[in-house]
Amino acid sequence: MSDSARSASPVSARIQQLPAALANQIAAGEVVERPASVVKELVENALDAGATRIEVRVQQGGSTSIEVQDNGSGIHPDDLALAVLRHATSKISTAEQLAAIATLGFRGEALASIAAISRFSLSSSQTNDGLGYEVSIENNIDSDITTVTLDDALKYSDRIVPKPIAHARGSRVVVRDLFFNVPARRKFLKSVGTEYSHIEEVLKRMALVHFDVAFVLIHNDQKKLDLPIADSGELRLQRVRKILGARFADTAHWVDAESLDLRLAGWLGHPAEARGQPDLQYLYVNGRIVKDRSVSHALRMAYESVLHGHRHPAFLLFLELDPERVDVNVHPTKHEVRFVAQREVHEFVRHHAKKILAQFQTAPAELGDALHPSQRIPELTQSALGLHHLEAYPNARIQDQIGQAFAPTYRDSFPDRQVSDNYPFNRTNPLPNVQSALGQYLEVLRVDESARTVPPALDEYPLGLALAQLHGIYILAQNRDGLIMVDMHAAHERILLEQLKIAWDANQSEQWQTQPLLVPLAVDVTSQQAHRAEQMQASLHRLGLEVDRQGEQTVVVRAVPALLARGNITSLVQQLLSDIDLPEQERVELSWEESRQLNNSGLIRARDRILGTMACHGAVRAHRQLSLAEMNALLRQMEQTPFASQCNHGRPTWRAFPLSQLDKLFARGD
């Protein structure tokens, strides 16, 4: 190592206070990650100023120029120089206000951070006379009294005289040459297209919660996004449809739930529309865009029995609670929050999301895709068939029913896809115990062939009347709208699972029959899972599992549920303990009581996994010949069962093919 290198080594260097401009550049690294971060901060400032129109202009993905103009309340001329100072803000002034923040911004860091790493100008007007004032911050450039360096602004802000200019009411911020003086950051910028896509996503996320604001996005002098104020139900629907797509808007269901101090509203996407990536998940807490692990985990728990494979649900949800019960000052970009009662929020979201999903009946038919992949045929949905029809909203149309004020009053929005608090299912009464339940529920297909000789009207049953079996796998039925095709094993599997859950919940003291293993089986697990297995030994025993801890990362299985004795025991135990053990990336600070409740929720998933396996083993198998009466019995059971649109593994159980589209296939009516 050279002498010069050693002389600059932190080991020998003396402690000194960094120059203010350098400190701002370092701080900017936390606030400004890329051009989209600049847009987010500036748009939030505009929203806090009460703007009703925000226009964003960017060049080259924001790397060369970003301009944000609004029609908000503006900044007083004497405050323009202060605006670029760190921790200078008009939004809070006391610690008490920090504990109950109602604005999107509050730290007073954004403008200072942006100005530290760009050529920056800020202009504003608080009047309607066409006169405004401007201050420019251009680092490393010779300056006069109105165009100053950041150091000058920091040291002599009281002497800076803003320059008068022609200006409409509101503010305009221009950011040029982002990261020009921080080359280490600039080289990490992605392609123009990638950076622009992040900017567009920021605007879309803002637009999905601020319906009372018009947004315009212009990239390289081309208008890319133009969202007018959505002050009516129809316009709000158009905005949601434009941003999230027609598939989401047409199949998602509205949720509106309240507790004493929590409210959840928004849309839950249909499981059939789940995606390969979590790219259509929008969560807002008190109007703020956030990504919260606890809420995300709650939604995954709600969806887990109806999603196929590693798919991700789509949702647009708004969570409201007392600002004092949520801390938004925990992350530099304010993307994360911390709830005072995290477990309460988790269970509130999980419970109400699962309640809605239990009544989803909107699996789309895709006959066109199956026959001609290149030619989509408009599909009929199960909701159109009237399955689990809610009499409170007969024939309601989305466009006619959206409430007038979206954010404050959720309840009147989208009533044709709201769900009643009372389940419309005709559930079977619980049987004495789970063991007998499985055997007795398998009798569901054994019916009296002569019980009904006169066929009912086709519109009496949403899933219609059975016609025949196809290859011993599918049931073909007709209803008033066309053809229904049912995967009989998948459908019966879901019916059995839901009925076994009822029997289990009705007999909390029951213990499942176990099958002792002739040779105890050692299973390798993580140390955390081994510890949890030891803690939850009694609960696992009720599931039919006798598990003892043996060593730091080993458990010994001595007995398993009798029905699953021939299954893969090692895989079963590892999966169950994984359900009980919260994954590392989802761990949060929990109290002892919250940790106990979390273990219980894991045991519920473990119970469902075992019940699901039992249902799969007990469901009617493919190639079993059924009579018409047996097929109709299965269809009637489906109409009375929650989650009937998907099997236990998330696959669809049935599809609907409208008669009008079948006519087109045969050129009828042409």
- Structural domain contains residue 38: yes
**Other Cβ atoms within 10 Å of 602 Cβ, number:** 21
Residues 269 and 408 placed together within one structural domain of the fold: yes
Measured on CA atoms in the order 355, 361, 366, 370, is the torsion positive or negative? positive
Q: Specify the pLDDT at position 224.
A: 95
CATH number of the domain at 153, please.
Answer: 3.30.565.10
Per-residue pLDDT band for 329 (boundaries 50, 70, 90) equals low
Quote the Cα angle for 493-425-465, to 5°: 65
Residue 71 lies in a domain: yes
Q: Are residues 117 and 77 in the same domain?
A: yes
Domain that holds residue 471: 434-506+620-665
| CA angle centred on 390, ends 389 and 392, rounded to 5° | 150
| 114 shares its domain with 148 | yes
- Asked if 467 and 548 sit in the same domain, the reply is no
Dihedral sign of CA atoms 537, 538, 540, 546 in order? positive
The answer to the question of residue 107 being in a domain is yes
pLDDT score of 25 more than 70: no
576: exposed, middle or buried (Cβ count in 10 Å: 0-12, 13-18, 19+): buried
Do 468 and 531 fall into the same domain? no
Residue 156 shares a structural domain with residue 270: no
pLDDT band at 396 (very low <50, low <70, confident <90, very high): very low
Q: Which of 174, 225, 188 is nearest to 203 (CA)?
A: 225
State whether 444 and 531 are in the same domain.
no
* Co-location of 171 and 267 in the same domain: no
Same domain for 196 and 95, yes or no, is yes
On whether the pTM is more than 0.85, the answer is: no
- The pLDDT tens digits for 166-219 are 999 999 999 999 998 888 788 889 999 999 999 999 999 999 999 999 999 999
In a domain, 26, yes or no: yes
Domain end marker among 227, 244, 259? 227
Name the domain count of the chain: 4
- Looking at 198, 227, 256, which one is the last position of a domain? 227
Pairwise pLDDT comparison (589 vs 496), residue with the higher score? 496
134 and 108 share one domain: yes
Residues facing 125 on adjacent strands: 170
Alpha carbon separation from 175 to 87, 113, 210, 462 (Å, rounded): 20, 12, 24, 59
CATH number at residue 348: 3.30.230.10
How far CA 141 is from CA of 59, 120, 588, in Å, comes to 22, 12, 47
Whether the Cβ atoms of residue 462 and residue 387 lie closer than 8 Å to each other:
yes
Return all residues near 273 (Cβ < 8 A) that are at least 6 apart.
247, 248, 251, 252, 314
Q: How confident is the model at residue 406 (pLDDT cuts 50, 70, 90)?
A: very low
The whole-number pLDDT of residue 394 equals 30
Q: Is residue 381 assigned to a domain?
A: no
Q: How confident is the model at residue 417 (pLDDT cuts 50, 70, 90)?
A: very low
Mark whether 217 and 240 lie in a shared domain.
Answer: no
Query: Which of 113-122, 139-148, 322-331, 349-358 is least confident?
Result: 139-148
pLDDT at 21 over 80: no
Of residues 260 and 332, more confidence is placed in 260
Round to whole Å and give the CA distance between 651 and 308: 6
- Return the pLDDT at 116: 84
For residue 95, the surrounding DSSP H or E stretch is: helix 95-98
Report which listed range, 80-89, 100-109, 118-127, is most confident. Answer: 118-127
Considering the domain architecture, whether residues 175 and 256 belong to the same structural domain is answered as: no
For the residues 79-85, what does the mean pLDDT come to?
80
- pLDDT tens-digit readout, 248-290: 988 888 889 998 889 999 999 988 888 888 889 999 998 888 8
What would the two tokens of residue 317 be?
Answer: 């949800």
Condensed to tens digits (0 to 9), the pLDDT of residues 84-106 reads: 776 666 665 565 655 556 667 65
